[in-house]
């Protein structure tokens, strides 16, 4: 059984081939990391999976349904959620208010001026579940803009979780963080994967995070698939070592 099946996708921008014939299979409950040097095509690849760019060639299948040309909103409705390298939440709102927006959107209640008792209870429950899962229950009333970068990332992930995704796409979740924040966010991802059985695909530059979290790793370089395997297999792969460290003189 496969949650995500990416089949030979290519993305061209004019004469520039950003991604060339890349395939990837992700099983349900798997945590897959995508790594590669700067300019390897990781974000373009992510954008095709999440629907922001249509592939020039190739096919993408999500849980048995072909979604290659499907718009972003339809992919979200099917159970795909994504965070971005630059945190995409409202800093002037509280953590709880940000999560509430996600819950109401997921329940189809964003256009309602007034909520009945049953809907209001469902919203409260959805907010509480997302905050508890991400360890933010005690910070629900804090303005997001006042939080640490790590807690802001956790708030963004909490908002994504309100969509009840079957596939969670995380774009550089520890980017720009110090040691303590990186550790906290990595632990959050580990909990979501192990305790809640989320299928997670992430792009990450911090190799400590990658090798401690991932079940499998996909390595891209110059827009092409360089290697794929377990953390141990990737660590021992000479082609991967060369891509990151260069040839020994």
pLDDT tens digits, residue range 41-55?
Answer: 999 999 999 999 999
Q: Does 112 share its domain with 227? A: no
Domain edge (last residue) among 164, 187, 205: 164
Nearest to residue 48, comparing CAs of 4, 88, 89, 79?
Answer: 4
Q: For residue 84, is it within any domain?
A: no
Q: Does 150 share its domain with 175? A: no
CB 75 within 8 A of CB 68: no
CB 47 within 8 A of CB 36: no
pLDDT tens digits, residue range 81-139?
Answer: 999 876 678 999 999 999 999 998 888 766 655 567 888 899 899 999 999 999 999 99
Domain count across the chain: 2
Q: Does 147 share its domain with 50? A: no
Q: Does 173 share its domain with 248? A: yes
Q: Does 49 share its domain with 102? A: no
Q: Does 172 share its domain with 74? A: yes
Domain edge (last residue) among 149, 164, 179: 164
Residue 107 belongs to domain spanning: 91-164
Q: Does 142 share its domain with 175? A: no
Q: For residue 86, is it within any domain?
A: no
């Amino acid at each position: 059984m496969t949650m995500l099946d990416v089949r030979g996708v290519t993305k061209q921008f004019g004469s520039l081939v950003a991604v060339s014939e890349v395939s990837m299979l992700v099983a349900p409950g798997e945590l897959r990391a995508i790594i590669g040097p700067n300019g390897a095509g990781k974000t373009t690849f992510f954008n095709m999976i999440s629907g922001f760019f249509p592939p020039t060639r190739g096919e993408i299948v999500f849980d048995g349904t072909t979604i290659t040309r499907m718009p972003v909103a339809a992919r979200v409705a099917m159970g795909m959620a994504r965070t971005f390298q630059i945190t995409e939440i409202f800093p002037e709102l509280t953590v709880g208010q940000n999560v509430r927006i996600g819950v109401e959107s997921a329940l189809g209640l964003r256009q309602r001026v007034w909520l009945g008792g049953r809907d209001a209870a469902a919203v409260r429950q959805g907010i509480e579940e997302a905050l508890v899962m991400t360890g933010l229950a005690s910070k629900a009333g804090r303005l997001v803009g006042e939080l640490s970068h790590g807690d802001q990332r956790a708030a963004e992930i909490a908002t994504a979780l309100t969509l009840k995704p079957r596939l969670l796409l995380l774009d550089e979740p520890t980017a720009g963080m110090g040691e303590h924040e990186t550790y906290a966010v990595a632990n959050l991802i580990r909990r979501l994967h192990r305790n809640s059985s989320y299928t997670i695909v992430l792009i990450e530059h911090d190799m400590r995070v990658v090798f401690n979290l991932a079940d499998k790793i996909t390595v891209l370089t110059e827009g092409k698939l360089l290697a794929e395997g377990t953390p141990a297999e990737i660590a021992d792969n000479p082609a991967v070592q060369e891509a990151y460290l260069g040839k020994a003189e």
